[in-house]
A and B are shown apart, each in its own frame.
Chain A
Amino acid sequence: MPPTLEVRNLRTHFFTRAGVVKAVDDVSFAVDRGKVLGLVGESGSGKSVTGFSILGLVDPPGRIAGGSILFQGQDLAGLSEEEMRRLRGNRIAMIFQDPMMTLNPVLRIDTQMIETVLAHAKVSREEARQRARDALGQVGIPSPEERLRAYPHQFSGGMRQRVAIAIALLHKPDLIVADEPTTALDVTIQGQILAEAQKLCAESGTALIWITHDLSVVAGLADDIAVMYAGKVVEEGPVTQVLDAPLHPYTVGLIGSVPSRNHRGEPLRQIPGMTPSLLNLPAGCAFRARCPRAEARCAEPPPMAEYRPGRFARCIHPYEEAAAA
């Protein structure tokens, strides 16, 4: 049986007047039933665009310029818009970053949930309403019957994200793409939502892609991790191994940037410089201008290579020892 989702050499480019922006450039990863993949990177690394590419929601001037997105063995990149629509919200669901913005402010919660049920299932309105109510209960919203009649502005941020998650769960999807769903929330709410996401995947066998810039979120939640930099996956592997013994200098820098109790009193470590503009990426390794280990050979584009079993990195001189500690 093929994995739930396998992305191979995905390229999503934006053809702007100023030039071609290679937001996603040769990205590959896979995620299987009941597993969680953490997609990590800075702003502008292409992680959100990867998520939108999977759902076919990349707007012009952007488009998928190459590669394949195999969902249960079927290539999504070749599907028509209507075939894609039938999958979206049904077999593949998405949760967005800002819960204050994802629900339509002028429509009641029941309208927004029932329309999602009816978009994919031939059931009566009553039945659809019943399903909406059950989904709200499932994500821990008290008195769901009453809350169905409320408008989004009558919910707190955390509650709105629960509603968005309930909407994503309506059709028991096989894959959920969650784009920084807890970034805008309080830490306590974030913890609750993470716990529920984990439980959900384990119980229902849903595959989950969790896009985030926060390594600590991924550490507790994900099974595997893919680190993105300037449109490319630079390191990939099981989450504990990658975080304990990162191979790529960028991953090392990311881990070093997380404030920690062990380094109290010392200045925080940071990665020098900025993410390069995607419009004119330097040839070779995109990270080399900021890399402490850069050398002349880095001007050649480094290939993705398996340095240890299951551990991939796009670097010609990876850290062999546990360098992040």
Chain B
Amino acid sequence: MTVFLLRRLLQAAAVVLVMSLLVFLGVYAIGDPVEILISPEADQIERERAIKALGLDLPLWQQYLVFLGNALRGDLGRSFVFNEPALRLILDRMPATLELAVGATILALLIGLPLGLYAGLRPHSPVSKGILAGSILGFSLPTFWVGLMLIMVFAVQLGWLPSTGRGETVTVLGMRWSFLTRDGLAHMIMPMVNLSLFKISLIIRLTRAGVRETMLMDYVKFARAKGLSPARITLVHVFKNILIPVVTVVGLEFGGTIAFSVVTESVFAWPGMGKLIIDSINVLDRPVMVAYLMVIVLMFITINLVVDITYSVLDPRVRLEGK
């Protein structure tokens, strides 16, 4: 296990290094921030002073080395726009995105697993066919449209739920959280539902396929031959086996939600990381873009590690030997 973790850590470091290079080059290729950041009325001397202050006069490889050196000291640069450390800017927004993503994932599991289980156990019942048809809708309706519809119905017409912002927040561990207040929770509901719709469909389909496959296995028939109750067979023998693919996909989806919940955050004006990155791309705020992508890379590495460790807990045949 220790060997496995150590190996993983080294791999992670390599991935981060390669990723930083790619991100840096990619962002460099997108465009020159000078045109956007410096007012067109500025004269040549002012322009050059600004370029020098931002470090944009150095050749690319030197810029990269400077960035790398600073990054090792935990400094991912200052935002051109906000003139604040890019990392702090991102970490400020992180709790908002995090609570939304965690909420959406939990919601998806709570709804998706039971529905998928039911649809898998009774594949021919009309209810199962309804669940399946619903999951197709969940897959194919565009997120922004569902978001707008939610706002139209629950905020505009019924007036039950607030449509924008995070609402009231409390500070815990130096970060602001919405889910701990009634008002904040009310603000969370719609974006959370919006984000989880796709995930619910995905989990329903995965669970259903897993259940149908597992029910045909000899060990399920043997469990029945032992005289176990149907509940025990479903909840212990079948469920533990289908969790393995579900964990993989939920892990990846969770990372994806944190990194790319841009659409939902924009529709509900949720001040999370997704909105920050879109705004930064618009004004070519390079340090924020780079820092953001680095944070996301680290996050994916962590999630994958957690998924791997969960595997070894769920499936005794998986051994973490780092080979």
Contacts and interface: CB of A to CB of B under 8 A. Distances in A.
Interface of A: 55, 57, 85-90, 93-94, 96-98, 101-108, 111, 115-116, 119-120, 151, 153, 164, 167
A87 B228 CA distance: 11
Given A86-B227, A151-B317, A102 B240 contact: no
A94 B225 contact: yes
Interface in B23-54: none
Contact of A116 (B217, B227, B236, B241): B227
Given A106-B314, A115-B232, A153-B317, A101 B227 contact: no
B219 interface: yes
B219 to A, nearest CB: 4
A102 B227 contact: no
A67 to B, nearest CB: 21
A106 B226 contact: no
Nearest to B241: A106
Interface residues of B, number: 21
B221 interface: yes
Contacts of A167: 226
Q: Which 10 A-B pairs have the closest CB atoms?
A: A89-B227, A89-B226, A101-B218, A88-B227, A151-B316, A94-B225, A102-B222, A104-B219, A116-B226, A106-B240
Nearest to A93: B225
Contacts of B221: 57, 96
Interface in B62-112: none
Contacts of A120: 227
Which of A55, A57, A104, A116 has the largest count of B CB atoms less than 10 A from its CB? A104
Contacts of B228: 85, 89, 115-116, 119
24 contacts: A55-B225, A57-B225, A87-B227, A88-B226, A89-B225, A96-B221, A96-B225, A98-B218, A102-B218, A102-B222, A103-B222, A105-B219, A105-B241, A105-B316, A106-B314, A107-B236, A107-B240, A111-B236, A116-B226, A116-B227, A119-B232, A120-B227, A153-B316, A153-B317
Interface string B94-138: 000000000000000000000000000000000000000000000
B222 A88 contact: no
Interface string B255-278: 000000000000000000000000
Given A102-B222, A106-B240, A119-B232, 12 more contacts: A57-B224, A85-B227, A88-B226, A96-B221, A97-B218, A101-B219, A103-B222, A105-B241, A106-B316, A115-B228, A119-B229, A167-B226
